[in-house]
Structure 1
Amino acid sequence: MSDESDTISDRIQGKLDDLTRAERQLALSILENYPASGLGPLAELAERANVSVPTVARMVQKLGYNGYPEFQAELREELGAIAKGPIAKHETWAGAAPLEHILNRFTDAVIDNIRNTLAHIDPDAFDAACALVADQKRHLYIVGGRITHTLADYLFMHMQMIRPNLTHVQSTSNAWPHYLLNADEGDVFVIFDVRRYENNTLKLAEMARARGAKIVLFTDQWRSPIHRLADVSLTSRIIVPSAWDSLATTMLLVESMISAVQTLNWDDTKDRMEALEEIFDKTKLFRKFT
């Protein structure tokens, strides 16, 4: 079994260029409804992907498994990991906790998450996401969840300084449907959704997509169901020795996006920052030392 930092999805995406046409067709079928797509009988998976049973067997071996049962066992393990709550996560780490100090263990885990994330991210996809977010002709909506609203708040605050024409959607509020009234075709929704994926957020994404909006998704290595609706999905590793997942790597991607978008819009951003500083001076928000 692989550990939680290396998913079957990662293996499939890493092998796509080496697969035959039929195997690639099968791989894309699996990714379409991952990880649940591979939990049924082998023949059922082959029929759904419109490929032969031997094609499934060959591709599973190319991914490094001895057979379909081993492949399925790891899928079930991933499905269990997705559903873990804080207590289960803590028990997973506590049972095998090394003796080193938590500062070192936690930092090592975060660094490993960053390395894994950067090894799998597509720079072209990241650039495409930044271009969508930077396009001031498109209204920008930023959506967070129960925990990830902190990242949404952070991104929204910086985007307020960088560009006009944006809205912070409170996805956990009963009022979120009101935000969709003004959503038009081509608008951009930046959505944060990590494991224990939220039903409200998925419903919002479905409705935004139905209105013709573009979706940029920040998610984890297992990928939120929203990834099937997203124009760009940016995945981060989130496993740390804690009852809670880490958003440190996701924050790295968010801050990288902020830097990229401000550069794309620098002339306008500079003007907005200068105007904001004048407002700060008038309100005496910050202490002056000169």
Structure 2
Amino acid sequence: MSDDTLTISDRIQAQLDDLTRAERQLAHSILENYPASGLGPLSALAKDAQVSVPTVARMVQKLGFSGYPEFQLELREELKAKVKNPIAKHDTWAERAPSEHLLNRLTDAVIDNIRHTLGQIDPKDFDAACDLAADTSRHLYIVGGRVTHTLAEYLFLHMQVIRPKITHIQSTSNAWPHYLLDVKEGDIFIVFDMRRYENNTLKLAEMAHAKGAKLILFTDQWRSPVHHLADISFSSRIVIPSAWDSAVTPLLLLETMVSTVQNLTWGDTKDRMEALEDMFDQTKLFRKFT
């Protein structure tokens, strides 16, 4: 993967293990309020991170930039991409759309998104998230927003079969504070928040975090503000040649999580599935051809 396909966040995360203590401190400071954190003067960034000006200059070069101005230019481009609405996004790709069929171009973009996303995910983090989602001693809350509620509903529908003690919350509903009444320390929140991040989702996450809940976040390559509260965070690349962002990569992660949790709880899950199928038979919900 060439560097020009990576966000600055991607580059920082890929090099964290090779940074000095001061550079790592700077990296975490940049990511804390990314990408806005690097838009001010070099001296201001150094002061905020409590590192020296030469440390910032050295770090910028390690990330592949000739200097701080080039670094800032890239951040500004990322910020533009982060706040684009659907119309603006359509105009961006339509003007330079190549002649190949959209099916091929979109498929290529999705495959590239998947490869890049998987390259950035630590399997240990994914396994830890699945272990938490499979822990039936904890209540599991699944939270989606205006668009991401479709991903939340998909996960909820499957988890509802796999395990008990599960609740689906839509952060756009004015009823969501009621759900927080019963949240206990150690409960799990799986939160979906992608580009055009929602204030309700952030407030819900803040209140759940304050009650001692553990947060698993599914977000995009620029990362939701919920990121700084999350115990585990998964960033998916979502850009495709469309006015809309792609849900394919996060859906792949969800289907993998469903399969993993199902395997971890298979004894109880099998019993629940059999009971559910028996109810389906009694209701004659589905046609049978045998």
Band of TM-score, shorter chain = over 0.9
- Correspondence 1:60 to 2:60: yes
- Separation in structure 2 between the aligned mates of residue 23 and residue 189 of structure 1, nearest angstrom: 32
Q: Residue 12 of structure 1 aligns with which residue?
A: 12
List gaps (5 residues or longer) in structure 2.
Answer: none
Q: Deviations over 1:165-215 (max 9, x none)?
A: 010112111111111111111000101000100011010000000010000
Secondary structure of the structure 2 residue equivalent to 1:164:
coil
Aligned residues: 289
Q: Residue 282 of structure 1 aligns with which residue?
A: 282
Q: Residue 197 of structure 2 aligns with which residue?
A: 197
What amino acid is aligned across from residue 246 of structure 1 in structure 2? S
Q: Residue 230 of structure 2 aligns with which residue?
A: 230
Secondary structure of the structure 1 residue equivalent to 2:114:
helix
- Correspondence 1:253 to 2:250: no
Q: Residue 154 of structure 1 aligns with which residue?
A: 154
Secondary structure of the structure 2 residue equivalent to 1:142:
strand
**Offset of 1:39 from its aligned partner?**
1.1
Secondary structure of the structure 2 residue equivalent to 1:246:
coil
- Separation in structure 2 between the aligned mates of residue 22 and residue 153 of structure 1, nearest angstrom: 43
The correspondence of residues 27-46 of structure 1 with structure 2, limited to 5 A, is 27-46=27-46
Q: Residue 93 of structure 1 aligns with which residue?
A: 93
- Separation in structure 1 between the aligned mates of residue 168 and residue 28 of structure 2, nearest angstrom: 33
What amino acid is aligned across from residue 227 of structure 1 in structure 2? H
What amino acid is aligned across from residue 170 of structure 1 in structure 2? Q
What amino acid is aligned across from residue 45 of structure 2 in structure 1? L
Q: Deviations over 1:46-83 (max 9, x none)?
A: 11111110010001000000111111111111111110
TM-score (norm 2): 0.98
The correspondence of residues 163-202 of structure 1 with structure 2, limited to 5 A, is 163-202=163-202
Greater displacement, 250-259 / 19-28: 19-28
- Separation in structure 2 between the aligned mates of residue 157 and residue 16 of structure 1, nearest angstrom: 37
Q: Deviations over 1:77-110 (max 9, x none)?
A: 1111110000011011101101011111111111
- Two-structure CA RMSD over aligned residues (Å): 1.1
- Separation in structure 1 between the aligned mates of residue 264 and residue 242 of structure 2, nearest angstrom: 37
Q: Percent identity?
A: 75
**Offset of 1:2 from its aligned partner?**
6.0
Secondary structure of the structure 1 residue equivalent to 2:96:
coil
TM-score (norm 1): 0.98
Secondary structure of the structure 2 residue equivalent to 1:137:
coil
- Separation in structure 2 between the aligned mates of residue 137 and residue 240 of structure 1, nearest angstrom: 40
- Separation in structure 2 between the aligned mates of residue 61 and residue 268 of structure 1, nearest angstrom: 53
List gaps (5 residues or longer) in structure 1.
Answer: none
Secondary structure of the structure 2 residue equivalent to 1:40:
coil
**Offset of 1:29 from its aligned partner?**
1.2
What amino acid is aligned across from residue 259 of structure 1 in structure 2? S
